[in-house]
């Protein structure tokens, strides 16, 4: 037998080393001249089977917070990640969320059983209505399948994996620029990622001609990632007329829309208005995917609550699609977490709580808009060279300032202001108190750094 033979072969260097160490532990002195010990590793790093692993760079967005956290300056300001802060610079838990959580805690009938693979049924139904509209014919026809996922990111990833497995076209077009994680999410899911023109640095607006040309020359059936509203990082959205032209072009070429809705309610302060682009595509009877996040609009960042809806041609297709989505989700994380989805469902299904949410959401959106105005005024009063009107024209959580990476580095070094190197500022992280500090920093960067 094999084992018998092995036991007669001479011990390996590792075994001999081990025996010498065991003898030492049992009281024998260590013989430094022992060749087995000489062969012993000299540092812990040499022992690791992961010795070849190289250090990865920090994430371009979340790494900004890592750097910010290490800065001891009392004046430091984090305008990197898109996370809402109050006028006092504090994270905000919405009152209506606190209320919903209290109700959930008080309800002793609630248990912590696993959710189904597709998540909480109420949450899914209400999420579809929130994004597609309560009167959506697609929902009435039962041709929408919605699955609860891990916030916006998880919804994009599940949708991407589904498309890689079941859709005939494996190319996805994403706007240039876009949220940095899109490239990785779609690439890792097995899709080929290409870009379409979106932003024109000269006008700081939409490069609509470039967009139409690129989508016009995309292969038939290609997937197109669209930001539903409040485009990240540019803050530039197509107008309703432009959306309509995009829709017509995409439908004429059978391009498949994949909407990323991470900011519903944050752009205009109105949930329905911010879903218009999506509803336009659903109204024409065609198919699309929608990834929804409650991170920003309900302030549920860390709860990781979101949904993927797939609008299909028929109820039959939708139900078969759902059965396959389950096969994507089950080996990925089995089933989603219960708490965040329960908060959302509690708020969405109660009329009074829903209205309370709308008021709080509008207040967040309004505060961001007022920060735009304040920053614009502060730069103007300093006579900062350049046209800063894009600060008030851009939409949503971010201002794409046009500052270059050297100017950003200067602001971080000299003013302890943290933002992504592409010059994106999270307006939600600003307050009346910190606007002057930011305006001073921008003024100095623009006048001192090329």
Of 324, 315, 274, 276, nearest to 297 by C-alpha is: 274
Decide: 258 and 159 in contact? Cβ < 8 Å.
yes
**What are the residues facing 305 on neighbouring strands?**
150
Among the residue ranges 10-18, 109-117, 148-156, 265-273, the one whose residues contact ligand PLA (CB under 6 A): 148-156
3-state secondary structure of 410: helix
262 lies in the binding site for ligand PLA (CB under 6 A): yes
**Whole-number minimum distance, CB 121 to ligand PLA, in Å?**
21
295 lies in the binding site for ligand PLA (CB under 6 A): yes
325 lies in the binding site for ligand PLA (CB under 6 A): no
3-state secondary structure of 311: strand
From 82, 257, 423, 429, residue interacting with ligand PLA (rule: CB under 6 A): 82
How many residues lie near ligand PLA (CB under 6 A)? 14
**Whole-number minimum distance, CB 76 to ligand PLA, in Å?**
18
- Which residue of the set 214, 237, 274, 296 is catalytic? 296
Name which of 64 and 312 has its Cβ closer to ligand PLA: 64
Within 10 Å of residue 247's Cβ, how many Cβ atoms? 19
293 lies in the binding site for ligand PLA (CB under 6 A): yes
Among the residue ranges 36-44, 147-155, 189-197, 201-209, the one whose residues contact ligand PLA (CB under 6 A): 147-155
Decide: 176 and 232 in contact? Cβ < 8 Å.
no
347 lies in the binding site for ligand PLA (CB under 6 A): no
CA distance 121 to 187: 30
Q: How does 424-450 read in b/e, with b if 16+ C-beta sit within 10 Å?
A: bbbbbbbbeebbebbbbbbbbbbeeee
CA distance 181 to 262: 13
From 214, 237, 260, 322, residue interacting with ligand PLA (rule: CB under 6 A): 260
What is the pattern of x (binds ligand PLA, CB under 6 A) and - over residues 305-324? -x------------------
3-state secondary structure of 276: helix
Binding interface with ligand PLA (CB under 6 A)? 61, 81-82, 151-153, 179, 227, 232, 260, 262, 293, 295, 306
List the catalytic residues.
Answer: 179, 260, 296
């Amino acid at each position: 037998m094999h084992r018998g033979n092995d036991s007669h072969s001479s011990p390996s260097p590792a075994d001999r080393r081990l025996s010498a160490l065991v003898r030492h532990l049992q009281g024998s002195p260590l013989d430094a001249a022992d060749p087995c010990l000489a062969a012993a590793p000299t540092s812990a790093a040499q022992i690791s089977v992961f010795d070849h692993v190289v250090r990865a760079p920090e994430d371009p967005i979340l790494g900004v917070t890592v750097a910010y956290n290490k800065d001891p300056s009392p004046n430091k300001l984090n305008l990197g990640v898109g996370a809402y802060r109050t006028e006092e610079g504090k994270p905000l838990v919405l009152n209506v969320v606190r209320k919903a959580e209290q109700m959930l805690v008080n309800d002793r009938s609630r248990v912590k059983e696993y959710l189904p693979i597709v998540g909480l049924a109420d949450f899914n139904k209400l999420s579809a209505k929130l994004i597609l509209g309560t009167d959506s014919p697609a929902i009435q026809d039962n041709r929408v399948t919605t699955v609860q996922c891990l916030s916006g990111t998880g919804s994009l990833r599940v949708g991407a994996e589904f498309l890689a497995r079941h859709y005939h076209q494996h190319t996805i077009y994403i706007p240039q620029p876009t949220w940095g994680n899109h490239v990785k999410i779609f690439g890792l899911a097995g899709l080929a990622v290409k870009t379409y023109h979106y932003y024109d640095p000269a006008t700081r607006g939409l490069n609509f001609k470039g967009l139409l040309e690129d989508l016009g020359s995309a292969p038939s059936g290609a997937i197109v990632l669209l930001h539903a509203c409040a485009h990240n990082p540019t803050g530039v959205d197509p107008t309703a007329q432009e959306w309509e032209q995009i829709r017509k072009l995409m439908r004429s070429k059978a391009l498949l829309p994949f909407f990323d809705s991470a900011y519903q309610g944050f752009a205009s302060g109105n949930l329905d208005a911010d879903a218009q682009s999506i509803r336009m595509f659903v109204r024409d009877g065609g198919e699309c995917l929608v990834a929804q996040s409650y991170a920003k609009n309900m302030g549920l960042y860390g709860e990781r609550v979101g949904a993927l809806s797939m609008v299909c041609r028929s109820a039959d297709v939708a139900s078969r699609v759902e059965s396959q989505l389950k096969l994507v989700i089950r080996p990925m994380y089995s089933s989603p977490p219960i708490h965040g989805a329960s908060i959302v469902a509690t708020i969405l299904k109660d009329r009074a709580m829903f209205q309370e949410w709308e008021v709080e959401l509008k207040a967040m959106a309004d505060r961001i808009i007022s920060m735009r105005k304040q920053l614009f005024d502060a730069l103007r009063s300093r006579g900062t060279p350049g046209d800063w009107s894009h600060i008030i024209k851009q939409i949503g959580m971010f201002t794409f300032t046009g500052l270059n990476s050297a100017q950003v580095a200067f602001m971080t070094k000299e003013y302890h202001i943290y933002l992504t190197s592409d010059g994106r500022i999270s307006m939600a992280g600003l307050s009346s108190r910190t606007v002057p500090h930011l305006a001073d920093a921008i003024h100095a960067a623009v006048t001192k750094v090329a």
